[in-house]
Structure 1
Amino acid sequence: MIMRGPWTAMWGLCACFFMIMLDSTVVTVAIPAMLDGLDANLNEVVWVNSVYLLANTVPLLLTGRLGDRFGPKRVLVVGLVVFTAASVWSGLATSAGMLIAARAVQGLGAAAMTPQTLSFITRLFPPDKRGLPVSVWGAVAGVATLTGPVLGGVLVEHLGWQWIFLVNLPIGVVSLVVALVALPDWRPGGWRRFDVLGALLCSAGLLALVFGVQNGQHYHWGTVAGPVEVLHLVVLGVVLLGLFAWRQVRFRRADRPPSGVEPLVPPGLLGDGTFGAANLTHAALGFAMTGMFLPLVLYLQTVLGLSPVSSSVLALPMAAAAGVTAMAAGASWTRVGARPLIIGGLLTLGAATAVLAWQAEPEAEPWSLVPWLVVAGVGIGCVFSPLTAVATARLPADLAGAASGVFNTSRQVGGVLGSAAVGMLLQVGVALAVPDAARGYAERLPPRFREEFVARVTEAANTASQFDTTTPPVPADLDPDTADLVRRIVTDVFHAGFTTAAKASLVLPIAVLVLGVIAASGIRLPRKSRFTEPVG
């Protein structure tokens, strides 16, 4: 029988998590409106989304531990107030700089809330009752991520770009009331002082790594400022995170933490092999999902000519399939087994991605992709709920915040790495595939134009305008008929070259999903008796 109290609290948690995940994708469709409304350049508008993801990723380990220290309700309420206030600030922004600052604060609020949502589920429901709430939590994540661009498109078209942020105000107020009334206020006891050095190493390492990877393409993997290059930041981030990991392992090996310090990642998490395997799998899933969507969305819009809203609508069946499957998987994983569902889901997602890559052609019908997008959604749904359930199944309540912080960090970092790696691969692919297509299509032109045509297209494919086929590089001295022929051929060249590059770039997410399958094979379920123990 479902308890009224826990489920009332659960819906409030879902509303919070829905806002967090929605705001990670809703901005994309509003970019053109923001460019006009704020008189901003493209780099500034891209930073509107990048700074949110950065601020939402870097503090997750720390905010998860803050929930264990001060109580998850208090940290969630503070984060919710900050997030809602920053949403209003974002909607009222009158300049790109103001909006970027507001989004950074909004990301910090999201980072405070995210670990607490899963932490509360772990505390509210015992392991044997956790399957359904975890499946709801996973379904909310998938549906919010996939429907963000659709909702954003509707709001931008009918109300203006400001409303993609202002819509959070009523949701935030209702969630705040539910949180204050329905969430229990657990208060920890016997807490030692924070590991300040570990927090600094972790935060600085994640900041350098995520910033470098996320913005590498913008800086052409070169100079960021002065003598500092993107590669320097990435290496610095890896070194700092390595020092952080060494420090956490040192805590585990010590009989007693030095000077009463509480480690950021408790020894109980480091010693749980299933938790480690689940985090590696979660990172692989985040990498693959972000990595597959980037080339597919660009292909739908650039090659097939769909608007941002239309391309998002095309993904709605995938969101529905992911949500329904997540609910079913969450309800059945204790009978079927989590590991078969997770591995089967990863393989299904990989197979669907492979078929989508095979189907992608410049003249393809957009709706022909829907069946395999649905299959991909089924694969995603099979993974989310069982993976979250087994990651938290054996953890005591006093580690819930730390575990949630680590688990969410793995997904976020995996997503950032997937976006950057596939984006870089796509950029390289375009630079190679478009000139190759140009050499073939040049045969349609009179001989005296062929060499210049290939040279101009090659130059365009290596610049920031490589995806722009509305103003192709056409010499001004051509007669109208030849110029019209060149424009049509250039469009065909870019479509053919980009499609080839997109198909090739989808190989990387598939490969990472295979690594995810290997990681998932390390998941070991606790004995059945362990699922009946109270969480605390």
Structure 2
Amino acid sequence: MSTNTPAAPKPEIRPWPALWSLVLGFFMILVDTTIVSVANPSIMEGLGTTMVATLWATSAYLLAYAVPLLITGRLGDRFGPRRIYLIGLTVFTLSSLACGLSGTIEALIIARVFQGLGAALMTPQTMAVITRIFPPRNRGSAMAVWGVTAGVATLVGPILGGVLLDGFGWEWIFFINVPVGVVGFILALRFVPKLETHAHRFDWIGVLLSAAGMFMVVFGIQEGESYDWGQIWGPISVWSLIIVGALVLVLFVFWQRVQRGEPLLPLEVFRDRNFSVGTGTITTVGLAVTSMGLPLMFYFQLVRGMTPTQSALMLVPMALLSAGLARPVGLLIDRTDPRRIATFGLTLVAVGMLLYYFLLTPDMPLWVLLVPSAVLGVANACMWGPLASITTFSLPPHLAGAGSGVYNTSRQVGAVLGSAAIAALMQARITAELGGAAGGAGAGEAGMSGQLPEVAREGFSTAMGQSLLLPVAAIVVGAIISLWFGRRPAKTNTNPIEVPVEA
């Protein structure tokens, strides 16, 4: 009689529970990039500080989030995306608690830095896990959920922020992350598999060059307006910092090419045509989506006299349609060629923004202003998912983390560019339409929740509409770049669904 014990079955990956577990954390960190902007006046009053110091709470988070993304993507390849994600989620959750408990602006800024680092550890792992656990031909629906999460989160932030501020106080925009983070940790621990790691020798010179270059470029662009694009300290100016940072990044790329060890950024990812095209396109998307919100919020609040919460509610059609169409568009991605869906979505974003350009007048009925929001909702569903899906379709598993880091870094750099550029353009157009004194006085008197004098509303509306031409131009460039997408391979063996190394 045989006594052989049958081999234990290999643990089964459940892709969709894993995806939803990751999306919860991804949604939380992206909401945090916008939720604080609504709370700045309350934070300033509560901590007894200045507006400049308060704005550093946001700047510190964005810098700590954007700068390490190239590195943290590679960490997922080396130590496993699940492990790095859970570490990042723990750091993010604990630092959120520290933010809410902060008694000084200095303590808040430090806590926000750690929050940004936690977010940077988490973000690349979400996309890398999708790339590795979903078969390529079934990945469209997953990428659609991931992409729409990125789009909807930027809209939910101001709404959630307004509700928490009105009901509980500014501390709760951070405290709310704690229970969400705990639930997200438990779900990720339960459903996200431990995937095979790839042995890497870490490129410490590449780490230093990429971190230094990214910091100088992102800091210069992000803080240029606050320094009036002049001197920062001594002989160092904003532009010299940006130029030196760009040169350091060029040196980083050169080092990645010539070094004999293992590069931090494998340049082979750019041999994939669709990855290169998608990375360029997502930069324009980050710029456009970030720069669109500010003129609209100023128009709704200063011209129409809405509260921050009411203003954010004007974008609800966008959020609902984006989320509702994510699944159908995802199925369409899997069954058809997604490159034209992405181009259509990008073009439709430009159409929605142009509608705002024509409709932003002081007496436009509010229901009419819901129409471009709805158009943008359809556009988002057709843009984010197809773009992510076709960009990462052919990446091999050992490059999934590096590719995700590059893709997310490009999006964040675009967002920083958009934030800086739209602030400068808005100021220029307000000055042109109202005159420097009139524009400054009107905005100063109204603050962020009052209403401009009637005589200034027409000119201010025109200025905000003209400012929207910046994101329109950016997204049109993205649509043009997307025309270079190639057709997905009919078959691929580069991304088989992986079996976890442990249950």
Which residue number corresponds to residue 171 of structure 2? 162
Secondary structure (helix, strand or coil) at the match of 1:367 reads coil
Does structure 1 residue 381 correspond to structure 2 residue 381? yes
Which residue number corresponds to residue 154 of structure 2? 145
Residue identity matched to 1:467? A
Mapped to 2, the partners of 1:468 and 1:304 lie a distance apart of 16
* 8 Å Cα contact 2:302/2:446 also seen in 1: no
Change (3 A) 1:494 1:264: farther
Q: 5 Å matches for 1:45-444?
A: 45-191=54-200, 193-248=201-256, 250-251=257-258, 257-258=259-260, 261-435=261-435
Secondary structure (helix, strand or coil) at the match of 1:390 reads helix
Residue identity matched to 2:96? S
* 8 Å Cα contact 1:30/1:156 also seen in 2: yes
Does structure 1 residue 459 correspond to structure 2 residue 437? yes
Residue identity matched to 2:487? L
Mapped to 2, the partners of 1:106 and 1:68 lie a distance apart of 22
Mapped to 2, the partners of 1:323 and 1:151 lie a distance apart of 17
Which residue number corresponds to residue 3 of structure 2? none
Select the structure with the greater relative contact order (CA < 8 A; seq sep ≥ 6): 2
Moved over 6 A (4+): none
Mapped to 2, the partners of 1:86 and 1:194 lie a distance apart of 27
Residue identity matched to 2:69? L
- Bigger shift: 14-23 or 524-533? 524-533
Which residue number corresponds to residue 458 of structure 2? 496
Residue identity matched to 1:318? M
Mapped to 1, the partners of 2:484 and 2:198 lie a distance apart of 34
TM superposition score normalised by structure 2? 0.92
Tell me the CA shift for residue 70 of structure 1.
1.1
Change (3 A) 1:265 1:108: same
* 8 Å Cα contact 1:60/1:405 also seen in 2: yes
Instruction: Decide which structure has the larger Cα Rg and report it.
Output: 1
Secondary structure (helix, strand or coil) at the match of 2:370 reads helix
Tell me the CA shift for residue 247 of structure 1.
2.7
Secondary structure (helix, strand or coil) at the match of 2:232 reads strand
Mapped to 2, the partners of 1:423 and 1:460 lie a distance apart of 17
Mapped to 1, the partners of 2:489 and 2:195 lie a distance apart of 28
Residue identity matched to 2:208? L
Which residue number corresponds to residue 484 of structure 2? 522
Q: 1:33 aligns with which of 39, 42, 53?
A: 42
**Structure 1 residue ranges without an equivalent (≥5):** 252-256, 436-457, 472-487
Mapped to 1, the partners of 2:360 and 2:336 lie a distance apart of 35
Tell me the CA shift for residue 335 of structure 1.
2.8
Change (3 A) 1:75 1:470: closer
Change (3 A) 1:132 1:264: same
Secondary structure (helix, strand or coil) at the match of 1:224 reads strand
Which residue number corresponds to residue 444 of structure 2? 468
Mapped to 2, the partners of 1:295 and 1:470 lie a distance apart of 15
Mapped to 2, the partners of 1:334 and 1:183 lie a distance apart of 23
Percent identical across equivalent pairs? 42
Mapped to 2, the partners of 1:531 and 1:368 lie a distance apart of 49
Mapped to 1, the partners of 2:211 and 2:137 lie a distance apart of 35
Mapped to 1, the partners of 2:245 and 2:368 lie a distance apart of 43
Secondary structure (helix, strand or coil) at the match of 2:127 reads helix
* 8 Å Cα contact 2:316/2:373 also seen in 1: no
Please give the root-mean-square deviation of Cα atoms over the aligned residues, in Å.
Answer: 1.9
Q: Residues 396-436 of structure 1, C-alpha deviation per residue, up to 9 Å, x if partnerless?
A: 1111110110111111111110111121111111112112x
Mapped to 1, the partners of 2:167 and 2:273 lie a distance apart of 50
Tell me the CA shift for residue 282 of structure 1.
0.6
Residue identity matched to 1:522? W
Residue identity matched to 1:468? G
TM superposition score normalised by structure 1? 0.87
* 8 Å Cα contact 1:116/1:404 also seen in 2: yes
Q: Residues 109-133 of structure 1, C-alpha deviation per residue, up to 9 Å, x if partnerless?
A: 0000000011111111111121222
**Paired residue total:** 484
- Bigger shift: 518-527 or 54-63? 518-527
**Structure 2 residue ranges without an equivalent (≥5):** 1-11, 499-503
* 8 Å Cα contact 1:430/1:498 also seen in 2: yes
